[in-house]
Structure 1
Amino acid sequence: MDIWQNPTVRLTSGTVRGRRLDGHVSFRGIPYAAPPVGDLRWRPPAPVEPWTGVRDAFEPGNPAPQPAASFDGTTSLDEDCLTVNVTIPGTPGEGRPVLVWLHGGGGTNGNAADYDARRLAVDGDLVVVAPNFRLGVLSCFGYPGLDDGGTFGLQDQQAVLRWVRREIAGFGGDPGNVTLMGESYGATMVAAQLTAPGSAGLFHRAIVQSVFSVLGTTPAHTFMPGLPELPPRWTSEAELAAIGAAVAAERGWVTGDGDALAQLRQVPVKDLLEVSDAFIRPAFGGATLPESPAIALAAGRFHRVPVLLGTTLDEARFFVTLAGDPVTAESYPRLLAEAFGDHADEVAERYPVRDYETPSLAWARISTDRAWARPSWELAKALAAHTGTWFSEFADEDAPSLVPGFPAGAQHSSALIYQFDFEGRPALPAPQQELADRMTRHWAAFARDGDPGWPGFEHVESLAPGKSGGTDYAAAHRLEFWAGKP
């Protein structure tokens, strides 16, 4: 069947019809698992109910249930959210590399439909699969007696990868050449899948962009001013079950009579979302994630696939802005003392506030170097000891601002505008469009054969307009200074 002339694909669950658009073919809202509603809430993704006839795949499926966030206005209360969007080039081809994209959004927010993948698909000659998966309290909730709690989003992603293996040839993709790619929280999920037994053999390369620290803790205020020290991105099943029980009791969701889990599955989604922020850390100790990824990755216990890591030059500016209250010359010493204790004076000497336009920018530089650059470098070293590892830094300091009113620089998530199209955003100026095209070539080359086109670790490729080649990442982010500090 020529899906480029007649965009119809016969799946194991039924037939779907997509649309020919400008230079590409799009299939949206294809179910990869049954709606996780009612008794299927907090259970592994179940098989899709087959359908007869031809199902139109013209519109995206529901985003996962989520409240509006300061960085994302998407809202949803519909648990029927387990769908994928597939984007393919508009010209015939078989055996194309497959890129599975896991969106970010802090673990509580995000929507695959926001990321238009046509440039990646067409210019990179890729098949791009973008799923929605459970988030927040519907993903990472735990409770005594709840099997494999805290891993339902991870299980959804594995169901997507199994769907790809089963179905993607019908879209012209190669099920034996799958790259799992994520940014921010999506990158955290990729890191987890690198260690999850159920993911073995389901993907063959990994791209990890702007991942928050997966190996250790984060000092107070360095993720965001006002936040205390943060634990690792993972929690034990026992700890999560205790948190879930405490929240359920406080909210009055469980009475002393009857099956507690059955009662919890009847709680309205809007009530659950009120506590979603407390349930963003996947749990280890069960079948899906037997071991903490922090321990497994550091020890080399992960799937041996090539990995491309990326950061941005000014990651933390996004979060310093998001905090709301600017850092001041008066608050700067206090933040240093609370974050670094006995090392506060050393940090102040290395990052004097007078060297920056504002105290907020000074704090953003400290936070970028300590909370982003250092753990990303440590993760790269752990991976490179066992598998091919490449590293890049997005460094366009004139990247379009994601947050109004703050000197943007190459802040967290700014690289995404160069990889995807977003509704309502103007076209990039010519020098930045050239960088976007170059990034597509690098990512497509990695998806094709596991080599983005620059030397492996410890080389760091700088991604900036008019510049190619390496950058001294360790010196720029003062990693020698940060070694051994809290």
Structure 2
Amino acid sequence: MPDFRKVRRRCALLLPVVLMLVGAAAGTEQPVVDTDRGPVRGRSHGAYSTFEGIPFAAPPTGPLRWRLPEPAPRWEGVRDAGAAGSRCVQLPVLGPGGPTGSEDCLYLNVTAPAGRGAGGRPRPVMVWFHGGGFFSGAGDLHRPDRLAVQGDAVVVTVNYRLGVFGLFGHPELGGAPGFALADQRAALRWVRANAERFGADPRNVTVFGESAGALSVCAHLTSPASAGLFHKAIVQSGSCSTTMPPRSLLPGLGTYEPFVPERRTVSDGALAAARLGCGGPTGVLDCLRRLDTGALATAELMQRFSLVSYGNSALPLEPRRALEAGRFHRVPVLQGATQDEGRLFLAQTLAAHPIGDEAAYRSRLELSFDASTARAVEARYPVSAYPTPAVAWATVLSDASFVCPTLRDGAALGRHVPTYGYRFSDRTAPNFTGLPEAPELPFGASHGFELPYLFTMAPLTDAQRQLADRMTAYWTGFARTGVPAVPGAPDWPRIDRPGTPVLSLAPGAGGIRAVDARAEHRCALWDARWPGVTASG
């Protein structure tokens, strides 16, 4: 006799997929999927459908401000999912302006290919965590239709709380719970509960992200709280070991460390509360929760609370130390950096702190490093080897802060799990940022400039589109099988020891090839000198 409970469950999961297929066949623009909180009506775009603005947690407003995410309430009827939900509270990345967005922002977006997956099999799920330094950005800024259609994957983009709303700490909170990362975990639990309803496999989830999104992926790799929520990880331009030397961008800036001890965040939170008039011995959180959004969304508070705390149950160890100790989830990892990571950051500070000649370049070295390291770096990065002093300094920052730390992490990961490294090397990549390039510092293959090759963001040349097609196939192939193998494309070497080549990604004949990135980026120098030896700061 059949088990009718299993039959009902299978029918319940199959019905949304059938509705999507029927909608696509009939040419309707409103496919409906029944999620675990209620049905949603998306939009058909021919080869794919989108379902935007789906709540994956209750609005963290009022008494829920600075609380771990709670389940989204159920809704009656069919919820329209034709537009993205509110972005989380943030300030303009550039220029003046007050806060935008809403604290009611825990929404995600699903992009699913039309029809059934290849061979009728469920598709892999790719969950994207956006960048923005943990104080800006949103999931809907990235359109993943290329990944969905060409890669035959279901892609989910996620909002998460930012700045003081996402990474605040205080003694009354018992520490710094990391609400931003908790929001991401809530989204992953939503994926686990709903992936089948969109024709995807909840047992084949890849988390991927760039910049702060990559740091998020790193945190989940090393967090006991994230166990079992994903099965593969892609880390783009933000490794567990990312740091930036003190005073490297502006004289008043200290060392940039994205992961900090929880006690530091808690201390900062107590000071901030007192400055906001909520410094009593008790009832501090109640006082802070009565403040309006604008009182908290200041430039100082959004920036100060943009660092991830460790030393708690969610993140016991500093992530780079966790990798060194082998204390991370055993899932395949694909990770990499762009060739000129540091140029984008440096370009935003050159007007205020120029590097006009060799003396200014040497001054930067002496401000950021101890005397011995400064001499060693100047010997390996002489100004005469670069078009301008600014390019020389940006190269130092790219190698020291991004490329070599990523390679160190790759070696640590590769001792335990299948690991693949890349370097995005297209120095003609489109500038999609809207930032002007300084004559003395062209952006080249700068931070984030691989994104238009994975998401629909900027026009590409024919050669760049061919590279985008290859990258899309590599990324989604990895999501499907754990191996970035593409028929007819160059093989991607697996990292199994320090010095293993990584795959350089650039357009044109021979643009995709294995390179010795450790040698090209002088990583022996940085492994010995940074971050172990620095100027005090």
Fold agreement, TM-score > 0.5: yes
Question: How far has the Cα of 1:362 moved from its partner?
Answer: 0.9
Aligned mate of 2:369, from 340, 343, 360 = 340
Q: Distance in 1 between matches of 2:256 and 2:132?
A: 19
Instruction: Quote the residue 2:27 is aligned against.
Output: none
Aligned mate of 1:86, from 99, 104, 110 = 110
Q: Distance in 1 between matches of 2:98 and 2:147?
A: 24
Aligned mate of 1:4, from 1, 4, 21 = 21
Give the residue type in structure 2 aligned to 1:438.
R
SS at match of 1:59: coil
Q: Percent identity?
A: 42
Question: How far has the Cα of 1:231 moved from its partner?
Answer: 5.3
Superposition pairs of residues 254-293 of structure 1, within 5 angstroms: 254-256=278-280, 259-274=283-298, 275-293=301-319
Give the residue type in structure 2 aligned to 1:451.
V
Instruction: Quote the residue 1:456 is aligned against.
Output: 494
Q: Distance in 2 between matches of 1:198 and 1:271?
A: 32
Question: How far has the Cα of 1:338 moved from its partner?
Answer: 1.2
Structure 1 residues 74 and 374, CA gap change in structure 2 (3 angstroms): farther
Q: Distance in 2 between matches of 1:77 and 1:131?
A: 15
Q: Distance in 2 between matches of 1:410 and 1:74?
A: 31
Instruction: Quote the residue 1:97 is aligned against.
Output: 124
CA-to-partner distance for each residue in 1:359-389, whole Å, 9 max, x for gaps?
Answer: 1111101111111112111111111111111
Q: Distance in 1 between matches of 2:355 and 2:76?
A: 59
Give runs of ≥4 in structure 1 deviating > 4 Å. Answer: 71-75
Superposition pairs of residues 1-150 of structure 1, within 5 angstroms: 1=15, 2=18, 3-6=20-23, 7-70=31-94, 76-93=100-117, 94-147=121-174, 149-150=176-177
User: Normalising to structure 2: TM-score of the pair?
Assistant: 0.86
CA-to-partner distance for each residue in 1:419-441, whole Å, 9 max, x for gaps?
Answer: 1012xx3x211000000000000
**Cα contact 1:226–1:323 (8 A) shared by 2:** no
Give the residue type in structure 2 aligned to 1:256.
G
**Cα contact 1:296–1:302 (8 A) shared by 2:** yes
Question: How far has the Cα of 1:258 moved from its partner?
Answer: 5.6
Question: How far has the Cα of 1:255 moved from its partner?
Answer: 4.8
Aligned mate of 1:328, from 356, 375, 391 = 356
Superposition pairs of residues 292-303 of structure 1, within 5 angstroms: 292-303=318-329
**Cα contact 1:4–1:20 (8 A) shared by 2:** no
Q: Distance in 1 between matches of 2:451 and 2:76?
A: 38
SS at match of 2:49: strand
Structure 1 residues 71 and 171, CA gap change in structure 2 (3 angstroms): farther
CA-to-partner distance for each residue in 1:312-339, whole Å, 9 max, x for gaps?
Answer: 0111011110224232213211111111
Q: Distance in 2 between matches of 1:77 and 1:58?
A: 18
Q: Distance in 1 between matches of 2:281 and 2:111?
A: 49
**Cα contact 2:37–2:74 (8 A) shared by 1:** yes
**Cα contact 1:390–1:459 (8 A) shared by 2:** no
Q: Distance in 2 between matches of 1:461 and 1:321?
A: 27
Q: Distance in 2 between matches of 1:336 and 1:116?
A: 40
**Cα contact 1:121–1:128 (8 A) shared by 2:** yes
Question: How far has the Cα of 1:227 moved from its partner?
Answer: 5.4
Aligned mate of 1:236, from 250, 261, 269 = 261
Question: How far has the Cα of 1:208 moved from its partner?
Answer: 0.2
Question: How far has the Cα of 1:299 moved from its partner?
Answer: 0.6
Work out which of the two has the higher radius of gyration on C-alpha atoms and give 1 or 2. Answer: 2
List alignment gaps of at least 5 residues for structure 1: none
Give the residue type in structure 1 aligned to 2:268.
I
Question: How far has the Cα of 1:294 moved from its partner?
Answer: 2.7
**Cα contact 1:193–1:199 (8 A) shared by 2:** yes
Q: Distance in 1 between matches of 2:243 and 2:402?
A: 11
Instruction: Quote the residue 2:6 is aligned against.
Output: none
Instruction: Quote the residue 1:162 is aligned against.
Output: 189
Question: How far has the Cα of 1:482 moved from its partner?
Answer: 2.4
Q: Distance in 2 between matches of 1:114 and 1:74?
A: 20
**Cα contact 1:309–1:391 (8 A) shared by 2:** yes
Superposition pairs of residues 362-401 of structure 1, within 5 angstroms: 362-401=392-431
Q: Distance in 1 between matches of 2:305 and 2:419?
A: 31
Structure 1 residues 399 and 231, CA gap change in structure 2 (3 angstroms): closer
SS at match of 1:5: helix
Instruction: Quote the residue 2:465 is aligned against.
Output: 433
Instruction: Quote the residue 1:174 is aligned against.
Output: 201
Q: Distance in 1 between matches of 2:148 and 2:272?
A: 43
**Cα contact 1:62–1:76 (8 A) shared by 2:** no
**Cα contact 2:247–2:255 (8 A) shared by 1:** no
User: Normalising to structure 1: TM-score of the pair?
Assistant: 0.95
Question: How far has the Cα of 1:250 moved from its partner?
Answer: 2.1
Give the residue type in structure 1 aligned to 2:362.
P
Structure 1 residues 104 and 169, CA gap change in structure 2 (3 angstroms): same
CA-to-partner distance for each residue in 1:155-207, whole Å, 9 max, x for gaps?
Answer: 01111111101011000110000000010000000000011112111100000
| Alignment RMSD | 1.8
- Whether 1:193 aligns to 2:220 is yes
List alignment gaps of at least 5 residues for structure 2: 1-14, 24-30, 486-491
Aligned mate of 2:447, from 394, 412, 417 = 412
